[in-house]
Amino acid sequence: MSALMVNKSFDFNSLKEALDVTDGNLASHLKALEENDLIKVNKQFIGRKPNTSYSITDNGKISFRNHLKALEEIIKSQ
C-alpha cells in the first residue's frame, strides 16, 4: 500500500520486484486489496503484451492513513 500511496500506479512485475515477493504471494495480497476496494486494477495491452497495473483508491488512501495513525498511537503509548 505504501508503494501505491506515493506512486500513481505500479505494474505487477515492478511491484513484485520492489517488494521482493513471489508471483503467488503478491497476487493473493492484491486480490484481497481489490476485493476490499483498497486498490483498482487496470488491465491493458502494451503492444501485444498484456500489462496489469494497480493504483490506490480513495478508500484505500483513507484506510492506509488510518492504519498509520493507529500504529503511531501504539508507538506513542509505549
Does position 78 have pLDDT exceeding 90, yes or no?
no
Predicted pLDDT at 77: 93
Which pTM was predicted?
Answer: 0.87
pLDDT of residue 64: 97
Instruction: Give the pLDDT of residue 4.
Output: 95
Instruction: Delineate the domains of the chain, giving CATH numbers in brackets.
Output: 2-76 (1.10.10.10)
Q: What is the pLDDT of residues 16-71, one digit of tens each?
A: 999 999 999 999 999 999 999 999 999 999 899 999 999 999 999 999 999 999 99
* H, E, C per residue of the chain: CHHHHCCCCEEHHHHHHHHCCCHHHHHHHHHHHHHCCCEEEEEEEECCEEEEEEEECHHHHHHHHHHHHHHHHHHHCC
pLDDT at 32: 97
